[in-house]
Amino acid sequence: MIKGLTTVARVASEEAFTQLSELFQTLGFEPGKGWDDSTGKGAAFLAPLGNLELAIGYPPTQPTLMVEVTQLDEVHAAVKTWISAHQGTATKLSEPTLTDWNSRLFTVEPTKDLTVGFWQSENPVHNRPIAVEGDLSAAGKRFAIVVARWNAVITDRLLQGSLDALTRSGCAMKDIQIVRVPGAWEIPSAARTLAETKDYAGVIALGVLLRGETAHYEAIYNEVARAIGQSQQETGIPHAFGVLTCETLEQALDRAGLKAGNKGFEAAIAAIEMASIQEKLGAQTAELAGRKP
């Protein structure tokens, strides 16, 4: 039922109104819809989260407007810069200090009628939504890599990147099954066969398609992508997509470890994370099923 919360801060003069509007714009508030009529005018500044707090015994000298930020020191520097451009406007600016509620806070009085407090929680997960996230640990898990032989100068680099990511994350070499297929077209078939065994926590597909090498470049890519996605959905085993689609051999080399990272490494990291997520979601599902009467 409650949709939003608005607090109105009165300012004494047109000059203060203009200067405060400039300050909040500088600090990155999203501008809202203002108003201007016979009773006065207002400028709206929006934030993604609003709270209403009621207090008893709250000292009148404490801020009545509290703004939560993520980079307190940078905000403090921006406010100090604003003050230097408006000499005499703000008479009080405190330094960021620790509070007894696990935060750092500084206050500023941009006008005599308004005290604003800017604060940042010292808790790194404060106000972050609770979410299931994967761990980057491959220890004790088995993975399969399907890699195309066509354009081996590229795919071998992708394979080494995937092996590097898996072993760095704790996967033993004996738990990695490598399957070589002729080209990208054959990747989905092998990936599906491996996934259906349910022996692997994830399947990593590696290949490369270069435009101009085949008249059916786009048709092949679309079918390979569709079939890998379908295999993932129907088997429930995460499939990491490491099939490059490039205009030239040089572009492919760049994406296989020269200039733009190694997409084989990135695909393996994605497979590890998704395998962890699947494991956690499965445990949650089993726990919920156990609670049902």
> Residues 119-132: pLDDT tens digits?
898 887 666 667 88
187 has pLDDT over 70 = yes
Output the average pLDDT for the chain. Answer: 86
Give the number of other CB atoms < 10 A from CB of residue 103.
Answer: 17
Give whole-number Cα distances, 216 to 210, 248, 250, 292, in Å: 11, 16, 21, 52
The pLDDT tens digits of the residues spanning 61-99 come to 788 788 888 889 999 998 888 888 876 555 688 999 998
**pLDDT tens digits for range 104-118:** 999 988 877 788 899
User: What integer pLDDT is reported at residue 61 of this predicted model?
Assistant: 73
**Location of each CATH 3.40.50.960 domain in the chain:** 143-287
Stronger pLDDT, 244 or 247, i.e. the higher one: 244
- pLDDT, residue 213, reads 58
CATH fold group of domain 143-287: Rossmann fold (3.40.50)
Domain 14-50+64-121 in this protein, CATH class: alpha beta
CA 166 to chain centre: 22
Q: What is the pLDDT of residue 215?
A: 61
| Closest listed residue to residue 145, CA positions, set 114, 118, 167 | 167
Residue 76, CA atoms < 13 Å, CB-side half-sphere: 15
- The fraction of the chain above a pLDDT of 90, given in percent, is 43
Q: Is 185 in contact with 148 (CB distance < 8 Å)? A: no
- Alpha-carbon distance of 158 to 142, in angstroms, equals 19
For 114, phi then psi, to 5°, come to: -140, 130
pLDDT single digits (tens) 256-292? 877 768 999 999 999 999 999 999 998 888 877 776 6
Question: If DSSP codes are grouped into helix, strand and coil, which group holds residue 17?
Answer: helix
Strands (E) in the chain, as ranges, are 30-31, 35-37, 40-42, 45-46, 65-68, 97-98, 103-111, 114-121, 143-148, 176-181, 202-210, 239-246
Quote the pLDDT of residue 148: 95
**Which is higher by pLDDT, 49 or 212?**
49
Question: For residues 210 and 180, which has the higher predicted lDDT (pLDDT)?
Answer: 180
Instruction: Compute how many other C-beta atoms are within 10 angstroms of the C-beta atom of residue 43.
Output: 17
List, for residues 13-32, the tens digit of each pLDDT value.
Answer: 888 888 888 888 888 888 88
* The pLDDT value given to residue 101: 80
Tell me the pTM.
0.60
pLDDT the model gives residue 293: 59
The single residue of 76, 126, 216, 239 carrying the catalytic annotation is 216
- pLDDT of 207 higher than 70: yes
- What is the pLDDT at residue 288? 74
Averaged pLDDT for residues 221-249: 93
Q: Which residue did the predictor score with more confidence, 192 or 285?
A: 192
Residue 41 has pLDDT above 80, yes or no: yes
CATH 3.10.180.10 in the chain: give the residue spans: 14-50+64-121
Under the banding of pLDDT at 50, 70 and 90, the label for residue 12 is confident
CA gap 235, 108 in Å, rounded: 58
The reply to whether 216 belongs to the active site is yes
Assess contact for 264 and 256: CB atoms under 8 A: yes
Q: What is the DSSP string of 65-89?
A: EEEE-S-HHHHHHHHHHHHHHSTTT
Worst-scoring range by mean pLDDT, 65-69, 112-116, 213-217, 244-248?
213-217
Cα dist from 43 to 10, 47, 49, 121, 203, whole Å: 11, 14, 18, 28, 54
pLDDT at 139: 94
**Spatial separation of the C-alpha atoms in residues 268 and 233, rounded to whole Å:** 18
- C-alpha closest to that of 239 among 268, 281, 261, 276: 268
Sheet bearing 97-98, strands edge to edge: 65-68, 114-121, 103-111, 97-98
DSSP per residue, 114-133: EEEEEEEESSTTTTPPP---
Structure tokens at 257: 């470890």
CA distance to 70, 103, 126, per residue, from 122 (Å): 10, 5, 8
